[in-house]
Amino acid sequence: MKASKVFFTDLRTTPGNDLMTKLIRLVRRAGIDEIDFEGKFTAIKIHFGEPGNLAYIRPNYAARLADYLRSLGAKVFLTDSNTLYSGGRSNAVDHLRAAMDNGFNPISAHADVIIADGLKGTEYKEIPLGGEYCPAPKIGAAIADADIIISMNHFKGHEQTGFGGALKNLGMGSASVGGKLELHSSSQPVINAENCIGCRICEKYCRHDAIRIVGRTAKIDYARCVGCGQCIAVCQHGGASVSSYDSSDLLNCKIAEYALATVKDKPSFHISFIMNVSPNCDCWNHNDAAIIPDIGIAASFDPVALDCACADLVKASPALGRNIISDIDGSESENDECGGNAHHQDGCRHAGEDKFHMVHPDTNWEAGVEHGEKIGLGSRNYELIRVK
């Protein structure tokens, strides 16, 4: 397969050549101007960061990109979908508050924020795909309705997929709450009787008449239940939840299909920030110490190639000390004063090793990019082009 072009810039700066200036130079060199933005609704798909987590992409980058796209005629908005789990972004009210608090607002980020799947995660469109695992992915309506998709991805570790990059941001991040249930679990939701208060909101919103309150507890008729996840989306008490989780391989394959549905039949472009590479997802309400030094920013029209390039850059990088990798290999205890690096004086501690598999040995990120290539989302074969 022909190599896709992935453009990369490091984080070195000089007076008059700051990182935001380098970002715009990077995306222009990568060809973002080839897209016709004039009058088009342009979604910048980004993670706003769970309250308490500080590893997310700084809103300054989003602001500069939004300004540039607007100069090309785009109608720009920032967006993400609600979460499946109960947290600070599980509904649009809390999600908007989290986004505003983290600087994603018209003042700081120069663009409005739209929560893609609505107030309670129930606003979505099914995109017919005929996929091997997901026949019709449930994509948040604002993302599905957008004319152009631009993903801004924080490249970092993930406890279920190995890492989170372009495919994760596009696939999992664009899915409605019901879509996230389909991604995470092959089974149907369950009712936790201890948490259920019998409020009937799940009964009200179930589109398939599959839930009834019996006594003071919801009961699911599994003959009617289609696993859409709306009961999980609307329950505010943890009464409805996921019963079991898919393997990393299956989850990554499903995410690739959702990513394909997100960009299907529309122009898209993807930017990944390989910095603050925390071991876990930005969905946690904290971020652990970075596992590698900051590397740079990469961009491409091909999200599969972009993820592969970012993974290779992280693999080639040495590991930092005083983090979860130090806990795993015991290096910090050997010489704490040197951050666990005393016996690696060449500065190549774990260089060439897959840090994500070290941190999350039960995950397999390769499954996602392999399936993404198989379904025509992109190519694992890439050419890395450096931009100063």
Q: What is the pLDDT of residues 334-379, one digit of tens each?
A: 444 444 443 444 458 999 999 999 999 999 999 999 999 999 999 9
Which pair of structure tokens corresponds to residue 305?
């190639």
Are both 168 and 197 inside the same structural domain? no
3-state secondary structure the chain: CCCEEEEEEECCCECCECHHHHHHHHHHHCCHHHCCCCCCEEEEECCCCCCCCCCCCCHHHHHHHHHHHHHCCCEEEEEECCCCCCCCCCCHHHHHHHHHHCCCCCCCCCCEEEECCCCCCCCEEECCCCCCCCCCCEEEHHHHHCCEEEEEEECEEECCCEEECHHHHHHHHHECHHHHHHHHCCCCCEECCCCCCCCCHHHHHCCCCCEEEECCEEEECCCCCCCCCHHHHHCCCCCEECCCCCCHHHHHHHHHHHHHHHHCCCCEEEEEEECCCCCCCCCCCCCCCCCCCCCEEEEECCHHHHHHHHHHHHHHCCCCCCCHHHHHHCHHHHCHHHCCCCCCCCCCCCCCCCHHHHHCCCCCCHHHHHHHHHCCCCCCCEEEEECC
Are both 177 and 322 inside the same structural domain? yes
157 burial type by CB count under 10 A (0-12 exposed, 13-18 middle, 19+ buried)? buried
Strand partners, 156: 164
pLDDT confidence tier of residue 188, bands split at 50, 70 and 90: confident
Looking at the 3D structure of the chain, how many domains does it have? 2
Instruction: Calculate what percentage of the chain has a pLDDT beyond 90.
Output: 84
The pLDDT of residue 347 is: 59
Are both 8 and 85 inside the same structural domain? yes
The pLDDT of residue 376 is: 98
**CATH number, position 314:** 3.40.50.11440
Alpha-carbon separation of residue 311 from 121, 161, 277, 339 (angstroms): 31, 13, 11, 24
Which pair of structure tokens corresponds to residue 104?
């994603």
Please give the mean pLDDT across all residues of the chain: 93
- Last residue of one domain, picked from the residues 176, 209, 243: 243
Report the pLDDT averaged over residues 111-131. Answer: 96
Answer whether residue 68 shows pLDDT above 60: yes
Alpha-carbon separation of residue 172 from 55, 73, 357 (angstroms): 18, 29, 20
Are both 283 and 239 inside the same structural domain? no
Segments forming the whole domain that contains residue 316: 4-184+246-386
The pLDDT of residue 208 is: 83
Are both 94 and 208 inside the same structural domain? no
Are both 109 and 254 inside the same structural domain? yes
- pTM, rounded to two decimals: 0.89
Are both 224 and 261 inside the same structural domain? no
Report the pLDDT averaged over residues 262-288. Answer: 96
Are both 291 and 369 inside the same structural domain? yes
Are both 202 and 307 inside the same structural domain? no
Q: What is the pLDDT of residues 215-231, one digit of tens each?
A: 999 999 999 987 777 78
**CATH number, position 202:** 3.30.70.20
pLDDT confidence tier of residue 133, bands split at 50, 70 and 90: very high
Alpha-carbon separation of residue 271 from 164, 180, 283 (angstroms): 13, 23, 19
The pLDDT of residue 187 is: 65
Report the pLDDT averaged over residues 63-82. Answer: 98
Answer whether residue 239 shows pLDDT above 80: yes
- Report how far residue 279's alpha carbon sits from residue 382's, in angstroms, rounded to the nearest whole number: 25
The pLDDT of residue 342 is: 39
Are both 122 and 269 inside the same structural domain? yes
Answer whether residue 146 shows pLDDT above 90: yes
The closest alpha carbon to 65, from 100, 30, 14, 89, belongs to 30
Report the pLDDT averaged over residues 313-339. Answer: 80
Backbone angles phi, psi at 367, to 5 degrees: -60, -35
Answer whether residue 67 shows pLDDT above 60: yes
Are both 282 and 352 inside the same structural domain? yes
The pLDDT of residue 130 is: 93
Are both 104 and 51 inside the same structural domain? yes
The pLDDT of residue 17 is: 96
For residue 343, how many other CB atoms are within 10 A of its CB?
Answer: 10
The pLDDT of residue 331 is: 75
The pLDDT of residue 332 is: 62
- Last residue of one domain, picked from the residues 243, 262, 291: 243
- Using the structure block, give the residue that is written with the tokens 């309506």: 141
- Last residue of one domain, picked from the residues 213, 243, 273: 243
Q: What is the pLDDT of residues 240-259, one digit of tens each?
A: 988 777 889 999 999 999 99
pLDDT confidence tier of residue 112, bands split at 50, 70 and 90: very high
